[in-house]
Amino acid sequence: MTHSLSTLIQQTYDSALKNGDLLFFEAEHAVKDSNGIKFEITYAPTLAQKPHHESAGTDDNKKKAKINPFLPPHPALKVKDLDEHTVVLNKYCVVPHHALIVTKEYKSQTQPLFPEDLAATWKCMTTAYGYTPAMAFYNCGPYSGASQPHKHIQILPLLKEQPQPPIKALYNQIQERKAGQIYVLDKLPFVHVMTPLDRSFIDSCSDNPEPLGDYLGQMFFGLLDAMFQQMRKHAEPSRETSYNFLMTNDFMMMVPRSSEIANMNGLQVSINSLGFAGMLLVRTLEELNTMQQYPDLLELLAQVGFRWNPDAEPDVEQ
């Protein structure tokens, strides 16, 4: 009997949680509105017990010598083998059923996503949680908030009633959206690019990974090229490229990174892709209170991205 991916994730999660192979951290949730985005702030105090890993850096040989939790993945966390990837559960989770799509062979988290990565991600993202929508994200490079140097994409279910992820509230405001067109949003004070996806085409080839991967790869690299164009206009060249990538059923988004850590009134907060989706994580009550009182969470994100250069030529699409 062949089980669906959602059933396998549920069964693997229940078993790993029961046996102590997976740790679920209870959390409290708060909402703070910043310029039309209802940021979700997750307060998980017991997450502070999680062992800290180095961020994905540039010295791959040094990091490969460290323990790699994905080579091989823990048997109790392994959900399913794909052609070139393995679906595993996140050992330390704040959201139940948080899954990772990991390359079977070691590849660096500083690489872009290729068609085979994106096809596997799309198939998992759209089937992992039954009828519940999901989001995929990728932390690329040393300043992206990545915690492991082995290439992995993450997927989370989107469970709330409001626009999900919260950044979608601004995406929904784009008038007469066109698939494949690159957009930037006036309300975001940092360099970013976003493109709607052609769901009709994707659905027409959903059972054929090659055209699916080719299309998603074309969208990804078009977005990456547009990001570099924006960087040339608005920021000093960087020797080490880092960015966060988000993908939902509707759009892709990419944000270049200048730093992993934001300074929040003297407190240091690590931010990864989820921050730009509108989801922020804190581990202490002090961080929670400070974030709730922080005047503008978009300005917090701008600290770790690149601010727009007011003297640059304006973009056609806004």
Number of other residues whose CB lies within 10 A of the CB of residue 279: 24
Helix (H) or strand (E) holding 277: helix 273-277
Residue 12 phi, psi (nearest 5):
-65, -40
d(CA 95, CA 61): 32
d(CA 6, CA 206): 17
- Say what the pLDDT of residue 312 is: 75
Which of 85, 150, 152, 192 is labelled catalytic? 152
Q: Name the residue among 173, 192, 195 with its Cα closest to residue 248.
A: 195
Domain 70-275 -> CATH class: alpha beta
Strand pairing class (37-43; 279-282)? parallel
Determine the number of helices (DSSP H) and then strands (DSSP E) in the chain: 9, 15
- Say what the pLDDT of residue 55 is: 42
Burial of residue 54 (CB within 10 Å: 0-12, 13-18, 19+) is middle
d(CA 175, CA 168): 13
d(CA 197, CA 307): 26
The domains of the chain are located at: 70-275
Give tens-digit pLDDT for 71-114.
Answer: 999 999 999 999 999 999 999 999 999 999 999 999 999 999 99
Whole-model pTM above 0.75? yes
10: Cα separation from own chain's centroid: 21
Q: Name the residue among 218, 180, 207 with its Cα closest to residue 196.
A: 180
Strand, coil or helix: 192: coil
The residues, any chain, with a CB within 8 Å of residue 97's CB and separated by 6 or more, are 9, 10, 13, 89, 128, 129, 157
- Say what the pLDDT of residue 62 is: 45
d(CA 125, CA 206): 12
- Say what the pLDDT of residue 66 is: 72
- C-alpha Rg value of the chain to the nearest Å: 19
Quick check: is 152 catalytic?
yes
C-beta of residue 297 within 8 angstroms of C-beta of residue 34: yes
- Say what the pLDDT of residue 175 is: 93
- Say what the pLDDT of residue 49 is: 63
d(CA 197, CA 136): 14
Residue ranges of the chain with pLDDT lower than 70? 1-2, 48-65, 237, 239, 314-318
d(CA 152, CA 106): 10
Q: Is the peptide bond before 72 cis (omega within 30 degrees of 0)?
A: yes
C-beta of residue 160 within 8 angstroms of C-beta of residue 75: no
